Amino acid sequence: MFIIGLMSGTSLDGVDLAYCEFRDTGHYTLLAAETVPYPPLWRNRLATLHRASAVEYALADSELGHYLGALVVDFRRRHPGPVDCIASHGHTVFHQPQRHMTAQIGDGSAIHAVTGLPVVYDFRRLDVALGGQGAPLVPIGDRLLFADYSACLNLGGFANISYQSGDRRLAFDISPCNMALNALAGEAGMAYDADGALARQGALIGPLYDELESLPYYRMQPPKSLGKEWYESEFQPLMQRYERRPLEDRVHTVALHIASRIGAVLHDVPPSEASSRVLVTGGGAHNSYLIQCIQKQTPGMEIVVPDPLVVDYKEAIIFALLGYLRITGQDNTLASVTDARRDSCGGVLVGRLRVGKECGSDAVGL
């Protein structure tokens, strides 16, 4: 089966497109992949949409769907070949599972209308309706596609981890990552802190570090997940208290905090289950200073940064896998990860499939 996975992360880097072939649930080939940076207008619009009116939100949902559809059409011109389905994560605007609410925009019907291809989208809401966190969704892909590693660490807008404990997959968000580092780099007119250059020059701000380490979220037991609302209400105000301190010092301090939180979590991976290898992907994997900080926190483990294509497109690949599982009627969300009442097969399907079979009673939007 041939599926294009689409991913738009909280760090607003752009849209990842991954054209994948699946022979079964454990074997894939990445045929082509690209990242399309968001134009400034879309970047600014998405960054502030959580404060917009209902009409502006609905319009953005439709227009982003048409925009994503146009990206797929353009991508296919450069990478022709058979496509059975598009699997789109969309862009998260709201994530408040404690209130049974999560929202990812990028209307799948609009993507289907533009591309003429079947689309699976809105992967999170069924799990939230079942009492789960609706996140993270990637761990089932970690278990099926990257089982050779003791843990899979993703350094995206937020840092998150998944690992096997007995017969259960455990996963949760650890801390902010690129969302915080990119915001600080933006003060210097940079999209991100390339290779950790700013952080390397800085010195530790002890009080800021201690306040970040003391955030209540870190004492919560998983399953748990983070959203932009938490970042803006809990994390960002602490950084702003020290905005008069040199930028390099603030970036340095936040990088050390991220590494500390990751190290604390990796130390808790059950020794009986863990090998010595941790797979690290996401944009933060390109930040060699951050990787060095994480390695210092975990001297007994090997921090592995894989091929750049896997680093950059692992989430898009796994969302393609989630689409594959959805249209072949297999569970694609793990209750052991999200704390939902049961595993489920989530995702809204629009368009007529020519392969596979429909989901059962777990399907929504059919």
User: Is residue 274 over pLDDT 90?
Assistant: no
**Residue-range domain boundaries for the chain:** 2-135+313-350, 140-310
Confidence of residue 55 (pLDDT cuts 50, 70, 90): very high
List pLDDT tens digits, range 276-329: 899 999 999 999 999 999 999 998 899 999 999 999 999 999 999 999 999 999
Q: Looking at the chain, how many residues does it have?
A: 366
Residue 174: what pLDDT?
Answer: 96
β-bridge partners, 170 = 163
Sign of CA dihedral 303, 310, 168, 91: positive
List pLDDT tens digits, range 101-127: 999 999 999 999 999 999 999 999 999
Identify the CATH class of 2-135+313-350: alpha beta
User: Is residue 273 over pLDDT 90?
Assistant: no
Mean pLDDT on 159-177: 92
What span, in angstroms and rounded, lies between the C-alpha atoms of 92 and 99?
16
List pLDDT tens digits, range 132-145: 999 889 999 999 99
Residue 365: what pLDDT?
Answer: 31
Q: Quick check: do 2-135+313-350 and 140-310 share a fold? A: yes
- Distances in whole angstroms, Cα of residue 169 to Cα of each of 74, 108, 216, 346: 37, 29, 24, 18
| Chain mean pLDDT for the chain | 92
Reported as type and span, the H/E element at residue 158 is strand 158-165
- Angle, nearest 10°, between helix axes 288-297 and 247-267? 40
List pLDDT tens digits, range 21-47: 999 888 999 999 999 999 999 999 999
Angle 14-18-20 from CA coordinates, rounded to 5°:
170
- Distances in whole angstroms, Cα of residue 86 to Cα of each of 83, 167, 213, 282: 8, 31, 40, 21
Identify the CATH class of 140-310: alpha beta
User: Is residue 65 over pLDDT 50?
Assistant: yes
Is-contact 146 277, C-beta < 8 A? no
